[in-house]
Structure formats: C-alpha cells, structure tokens
Amino acid sequence: MSNQKYRRTNFEEEDSSRVELPSPSTNFDPMVGFQQYKLNFWRRRSTLEKVLALLLLLSLLIIAILAVVIHLKSHTKSPGPEGIESTSTCLKKSCITAASSILNSIDEKVDPCNDFYEFACGTWMKSNPIPNGHAEWDTFTILKEENNNILKRYLEAPLNESYSESQTKLKKFYMSCMDPKEEIEKIGSKPVVYMMQKMGGWSVSDIAGKWNESDWDFMRSTELAMDNGIPIFFSLSVSEDEKDSNKNILRVEQQGFNINRDFYLNKSIDNDKLMSAYLKYMTSLSVLMGGEENETRELMRELLLFEMDLAEITTPYEERRDDEKMYNKQNITYLQEIAPFINWLDYINGRFSKVNITINESEPIIVPYPEYFVKLNTLINNTLHKENGKRMLQNYIVWNVMEFYSQYLNKPFRKVRKDFRDVLTGVVGEREKWRNCVYESESIMGFVLSTQYIQEEFNEGSRTSAVEMVKYIRKAFIDNLPNLAWMDEATRKAAIDKAEAVVEKIGFPEFVLNTTELDIKYAELDIHEDQYFLNCYKTLINGMNTGLAKLRKDNDKMSWSMTPQTVNAYYTPNKNEIVFPAGILQLPFYHKDYPKSLNFGAMGVIMGHELTHGFDDQGRRYDKTGIMRMWWNEKIIELFQERTQCLVDQYSNYSINGDNLKGKMTLGENIADNGGLKSAYYAYEQYIADRTNIDPQLPGVPYNSKQLFFISFAQVWCANSNAADVKNSIMIDTHSPPRFRVIGSVTNFPEFAKQFNCPAGSPMNPLKKCEVW
C-alpha cells in the first residue's frame, strides 16, 4: 500500500576494535578531535601511500559491486525460456516506491515453492499489526481508511451557499452523527421507547407501557415491526426477475439473525462462550430499557431458545447457490396455502400501500425456500398454543426492533453493543467516532460524496488504461476457451458470445457529476443536523419504500450497486456486467506509471476475477443478456461439475486453527480467483508481445517481470486477522481467507511453478491440479 509501515532492519553490532585517540583535554570535543586526527593521519602519508590507498579503496568498491550483482543473480529464480527479462532499470519515483513496497513485504527466508503467501507477505504481516478497533488489517482496509480520510475532509468543510440541496443534506447528516451538542445523550432511549409503545408495549418492562395479551394480534405485531423497517421471520423485497432481466418481481425469503445461523446449531447457552455472551447482551440491553435483571435474563433465555429453533429451520447458505432451484415462481395464493399463519395478501398490501401499489392474489412472487415457510408456519402455530407463547412472540418481535435501533441511542446502549461485538469479532479498542460517521454518511448518501471525490481524486487516465486492460483480459479468457477439452463447440461459441457481451462500467456513473440529478435522487430525505436518530430512521424507511416502488418499474440496467469511492468490484449476472469503481483504481491495485506486470498482477487479476464470475457455478446459469436459462447441455454441465468438485475438495482440505474451509460455500469465489489469475497472466503476456518495449527492472528487486506478476497478485491479499475474525470468515464469508485465495490459485496454475522453478510435488506445485476456466 501507499501508506505501509515498515519495520526497521536490525543492524549487526559494530566491530569493537577502535583507533586509539589522543588523550582528550578537559575541553576536548570527541568529534572535533577525531576529525582532526583523521586529517593529520592523511597528511603524514607519502604520495605513494596515498595512491596505493586510493587504488585499494577503488578495488574494494568494484568487489562490492560485483558481490551485489552475484547476490541478485543467485536470488533470482530463472524465468525459463519464455521469461520476460529487461536490461533497463526504472528509476522513476513510482518504480522506486513499488520496489520498496515489494521488498518490505516479502520474506526471502521463505521458499516461494513451499509457501508462496508467506514468501510474498511474511514481512508485511510482521510490520502491520492489527490497529485498535479492527478485527482484520489488510490492503483493502488500509486503502478504505485512506479514502475515509479524504471523505472526512469533504464532510467537515463548512456549509456555504454554493452547496446543492443534496450536499447540504449530507453534511447535516454527518453533523448529526458527530453530535457536537450531545443531543443523542440528552434524548437517551426515548425514541425507541416511543416505538415500543406504538407496538403495544413489552412484558419485559413497563417502560413502554403494559402489554395486554387479550388485545394482541401476531400479524399486527409483525406489521408494526415492518412499519419501523425491521423484518421479522421473513423479508419482503423487490428484485430483478432472473428470467426477465428487464423486469422486477416480488420476493419473500427467510430472515437472518444477529449472528450467523451456524453459531446457534447444537449449542448450549450456558457452556458456549458466544451463546453466553449473546444472552448477556440481550439481557443488558433489556435492563437498560427498564427490565429487572434476574427476571429479564430468564425472559431473554426464552427468546434465545426460540431463535435457536428458528435457526434450525433455515436453509444454510451452501444449499442456496442453485439459482434455478431457488427460482420458485408462485403467487400469493400459493404462499397462503403453505403458510397460513398470517393473511399474506393483507400483509403485503399493507407494505405496498406506502408506495401506492395494490397487490392481488395472482401477483407473481418468488418463494426460494417453500420448506422454510412450511416449517415456520408449524413453529409459529406451536408457539402460539404454548403457555405464555403469545407473550414470548411479542417480546421477540419488540426485542428485534429495540436491538436494531439501540445502535442510534446514547453511550450506555452503544457500549453494550460494542462489548458483545468485541466478543463476536475479537476486536480490541475502539475506532474514532468520525470514522463511524463517515461510514454511515457514505452508506446513505454515498453518491453525493462521489461528486467531489471524482473531481479531485480520480485520474481520468486511469479509466482509459483500465478499459484497455479489460480488453486484453477479455481476449485472454476467450482465447483460452479452445484449450478446455471439456467444452463442446456449441457451448464454447455461446461462452465466447457471453464474454464478448459483458458490459464494463469503470470509474463512476455520469449522474454523480450532475447535482440536479442527485437532488432528485435524494429529494425524499428530510435531514436535520441535530436529530441523528430521526435521520437514521427516516433514511431506513425511505430506502425500504424506494425498493418496493421498483415493482411496477423496469429494471434499471444503468444503475450502480457501489459508489465510485468504494474499494471493491463486482459482477452482476442479470446485467452481465463487471463494475470497477474509481476507489479501487489506485495503489496498491493500480498505478499508471507502474510496470505492467504489477498492474496486471493486482488490478488485472481482479478484473479477470469479476469476468470469470459470469461463468462460475451461479453465473454460468445466465446467458449473455442476463436471463437465467439453460444454455448448456446436460453433458457439459456434468463435466463442469466434475471440475468444480475438484475445487470443492481442494479448498475443503485447507484449514486454519483446526477449522476447515467450506469448499462448497466458497466455490463461486474460488472459481473466479483461479480463472482471474490465469486470464490476467495470459493478458499480460499478450500485452507485452504487442509492444516493442518490455517492462523495466525494478531497482534492487531480484525478480523478473513474470515473477513480479505473481508477487503483485499475492501482495494484494496480504492481511492480518484475529482468531475470532478468521473463525467468522470461515463460517459466513463466501470468499476463502486471503492466504488460500493466493495458495489455492497459484498451486493450480502451471505457469507459476514454471516461473519459480518449483519441483513437481512441492507444496506450491502439487501433482494434482484443478482447472475449470
């Protein structure tokens, strides 16, 4: 990264022998005396002695230079017959910076053929401990923090008359979050207490009014939670129709939890550290809302046991990767038949009344997991018929609303939340308040922040270069398809058509430079600089309603899912598009003056990764227009799945701290990592072949250009994570941990072993390799 911290080298102890100096007088300055001694010593020498001394010094200098050259050659792996070598050395500032970054990250004591990740990142990991307030520290996070420093400067600039309406709203929101007058502390818990009163009270505490069981209705309670923007038991949303990419469709799905479902399964509340911490968290929040501690703990235990039952009936992520299987298109009548615990038509119309849309029984709706709703119906009905079952369900619904909104309350509530999150994530310390406020401001009005960011930080030349890189990577992907023996000619042609049809969006959407369009986009937001809770509440409700309002509208294929300042990239299957925001088109991923080996190894692999997503286990189900349909025959699908199973098995055998990776859950990302590395490498070869000049040598770096390609790729993923974060990542992240994103990809790619002369059967050059694309 451009702002790395480097550990200083430990120098060897100096020789203890010293020239004997004259005895100092009382006022003798040792340094002055020493300089005078050296001068007199030289003057006393004869001309012949002086000439011989200079010749000796010159000889020693030549020997030292030869030693350095021999050292560099001996530490440089042979590039092989097709290696790209250069006789010129780049001494530009950018090349010196790149060389410094590389040399201060690698650990040359590690054999790259034994552990390439440790070789590429070993010193970086030692020199970059995890800062306070973070569970992990990596190149992405560092760049995000640098971007946040820039956004903070924009947000803290004084308001003036030149600001547009949307810019003024954004600055007011940031000010409300920073809360210089401590309005948040003065208000305390009153906003959430008011919500709870509107929801009919809470049996845990009388602070929100007495709950009356005889007046209570399950569906009404659930509706009131949704009125506050909090889905309970299931979520209702509008999204693109996978089989008609121009249209939007209604969707109802199982709802998640505060922690991953796997944490709930087969656990004891009293004996499991995380479950005990979660119960303590639930109790502490509820006590702050007026509950008596002992009684509240028992009531919260009841809620937690119920939530564990809910987790049992949900479908795990790894079983939700088959989009075709999940495309269960039904209507409201069907949903009412399988899960009659509420009146679905009334419930859904209640939601859509906010956006003036009427739904009837025949309205198409996607129900991805019907079995969940059947099981949910049974669980709700059984609970309603239990003693105190209604009380428990009301407590659970109100608890979820209170828990979510407690993050916007005063310090006691935020401390309880932080204490639990620290247990969950292993974080030590706390981030500065302004960082959280930048994050929240960016999350609600990020495109407004984009205007100044693009104008001041983005180099338009980066977009031009990125477009050219995508062109080479697309061609490399297509040119490699004839080498895949498992594909037949018809499928290969269709794959070529799809790859050629992929739309690239690079840098930013043009509307972020149009303040009039931005003012229209955020016109519904009513922001006040001293009402933080209300601002958060209104933006949540506005976002929910904006999403529902898309139901009767065509899918906007020009929209962006990320703001331009985001340090990330993505592929959208129903748009067949790859998107690279401006935020990622900078160091350490890309620099216009860097050797192309570094740009292709870092940013190029990310581009190849996103392109390959169009052909992973999910993306391959969509055609070139973004419609989900069967465009492969059954035989080809079978051959494809044989190759993907190889990756599932490979990554499932990797483990950290005794926990094995979930090869099935991470399959899509692993396919993209492997395919992206290959496409970027071959694209780099072609890029160099098309030019008369080749990449220059970096000063002091004893690796050829192709080796630097792989080093650059690996150093993008240099990271430190605490044990809790690693465990959480393995359980819930669809990406493999950084170490295995590197190792898994290079061990499958023969060109890596070739460039580093890795013996067959060595850890980084196993005899069995997996290949999909």
Q: How many other C-beta atoms can be found within 10 angstroms of the C-beta atom of residue 5? A: 11
Mean pLDDT across the stretch 407-426?
93
Q: Where are the alpha helices (DSSP H) in 30-138?
A: 30-43, 47-74, 93-103, 116-127
* pLDDT tens-digit map of 636-676: 999 999 999 999 999 999 999 999 999 999 999 999 999 99
- The C-alpha atoms of residue 543 and residue 759 are separated, in whole angstroms, by 56
Name, in order, each residue with C-beta under 8 angstroms of 453's C-beta and a sequence gap of 6 or more. Answer: 147, 150, 151, 154, 564, 565, 582
Q: What is the pLDDT of residue 757?
A: 96
Residue extent(s) of CATH 1.10.1380.10 domains in the chain: 189-408
Mean pLDDT across the stretch 323-337?
94
Mean pLDDT across the stretch 605-615?
97
Q: Give residue 65's Cα distance to chain centre.
A: 45
Residue extent(s) of CATH 3.40.390.10 domains in the chain: 471-509+560-756
Helix axis angle for 460-480 and 667-689, nearest 10°, is 100
- The verdict on domain 471-509+560-756 having CATH code 3.20.20.10 is no
Say if residue 129 is preceded by a cis peptide, omega within 30 of 0. Answer: no
Query: Please, what sign has the CA dihedral across residues 739, 745, 747, 750?
Result: negative
Q: What is the pLDDT of residue 93?
A: 85
Is pLDDT above 70 for 30? Answer: no
User: β-strands 329-331, 244-254: how paired?
Assistant: unpaired
Q: What is the pLDDT of residue 83?
A: 46
Which tokens go with 398? 């109100």
From the list 619, 623, 600, 622, the residue with the least C-alpha distance to 610 is 619
Mean pLDDT across the stretch 135-152?
94
Q: Report yes or no: 601 and 709 within 8 Å, Cβ to Cβ.
A: yes
Does an H or E element contain 473, and which?
Answer: helix 460-480
Q: Give 249's DSSP letter.
A: E
* pLDDT tens-digit map of 396-414: 999 999 999 999 999 999 9
Q: Give 575's DSSP letter.
A: T
Is pLDDT above 60 for 180? Answer: yes
The CATH topology of domain 189-408 is Neutral endopeptidase; domain 2 (1.10.1380)
Q: What is the pLDDT of residue 87?
A: 54
Among the listed ranges 80-94, 274-288, 502-516, which one has the minimum average pLDDT value?
80-94
- Distances in Å between the Cα of 127 and the Cα atoms of 61, 130, 183 are 33, 10, 41
The HSE-up count of residue 49 (CA atoms within 13 Å, CB side) is 6
Query: Please, what sign has the CA dihedral across residues 118, 122, 128, 130?
Result: positive
Among the listed ranges 7-16, 97-106, 246-255, 334-343, which one has the minimum average pLDDT value?
7-16
Is pLDDT above 70 for 1? Answer: no
Task: Report which residue type is found at 394.
Answer: Q
Among the listed ranges 15-24, 44-53, 267-276, which one has the minimum average pLDDT value?
15-24
Q: What is the pLDDT of residue 8?
A: 24
Is pLDDT above 60 for 82? Answer: no
Q: Which residues are catalytic?
A: 610, 673
Q: Report yes or no: 1 and 142 within 8 Å, Cβ to Cβ.
A: yes
Q: What is the pLDDT of residue 29?
A: 32
User: β-strands 503-507, 570-572: how paired?
Assistant: unpaired
Rounded to the nearest integer, the mean pLDDT of the chain is 87
Residue 581 β-bridge partners? 507
The pair phi, psi for residue 329, each rounded to 5°, is -85, 120
Q: How confident is the model at residue 268 (pLDDT cuts 50, 70, 90)?
A: confident
Q: What is the pLDDT of residue 694?
A: 76
* pLDDT tens-digit map of 205-242: 888 778 888 889 999 999 999 999 999 999 999 999 99
Residue 505 β-bridge partners? 579
Say if residue 588 is preceded by a cis peptide, omega within 30 of 0. Answer: yes
User: β-strands 655-656, 136-138: how paired?
Assistant: unpaired
Residue 366 DSSP SS3: strand
Q: Report yes or no: 111 and 689 within 8 Å, Cβ to Cβ.
A: no
Does an H or E element contain 499, and which?
Answer: helix 489-501
In terms of Cβ atoms closer than 10 Å to its own Cβ (0-12, 13-18, 19+), residue 598 is buried
- The C-alpha atoms of residue 550 and residue 27 are separated, in whole angstroms, by 87
Q: Report yes or no: 608 and 477 within 8 Å, Cβ to Cβ.
A: yes
Q: What is the pLDDT of residue 532?
A: 96
* pLDDT tens-digit map of 452-492: 999 999 988 888 999 999 999 999 999 999 999 999 999 99
Q: Report yes or no: 474 and 499 within 8 Å, Cβ to Cβ.
A: yes
Q: How confident is the model at residue 192 (pLDDT cuts 50, 70, 90)?
A: very high
Residue 720 β-bridge partners? 137
Percent of the chain with pLDDT over 90: 72
Residue with tokens 């992973």: 616
* pLDDT tens-digit map of 361-371: 999 999 999 99
Which tokens go with 115? 């552990």
- The C-alpha atoms of residue 469 and residue 484 are separated, in whole angstroms, by 23
Residue 660 DSSP SS3: strand
Q: What is the pLDDT of residue 584?
A: 94
HEC profile for 268-295?
CCCCCHHHHHHHHHHHHHHHHCCCCHHH
Q: What is the pLDDT of residue 496?
A: 96
Is pLDDT above 80 for 25? Answer: no
Is pLDDT above 70 for 86? Answer: no
- The C-alpha atoms of residue 313 and residue 656 are separated, in whole angstroms, by 29
Query: Please, what sign has the CA dihedral across residues 425, 426, 427, 429?
Result: positive
Percent of the chain with pLDDT over 70: 89
Q: Report yes or no: 393 and 384 within 8 Å, Cβ to Cβ.
A: yes
* pLDDT tens-digit map of 38-62: 334 344 445 544 444 454 454 444 4
Q: What is the pLDDT of residue 88?
A: 81
Q: What is the pLDDT of residue 43?
A: 44
Q: Report yes or no: 716 and 598 within 8 Å, Cβ to Cβ.
A: no
Residue 316 β-bridge partners? none
Q: What is the pLDDT of residue 263?
A: 86
Q: How confident is the model at residue 697 (pLDDT cuts 50, 70, 90)?
A: confident
Helix axis angle for 411-425 and 723-732, nearest 10°, is 80
Question: Of the segments 44-48, 83-87, 492-496, which one has the largest average pLDDT value?
Answer: 492-496
The pair phi, psi for residue 572, each rounded to 5°, is -115, 110
- Distances in Å between the Cα of 302 and the Cα atoms of 295, 296, 299, 392 are 11, 10, 5, 7
Q: Give 737's DSSP letter.
A: P
- The C-alpha atoms of residue 564 and residue 583 are separated, in whole angstroms, by 6
Stated pTM of the model? 0.84
Q: What is the pLDDT of residue 592?
A: 82
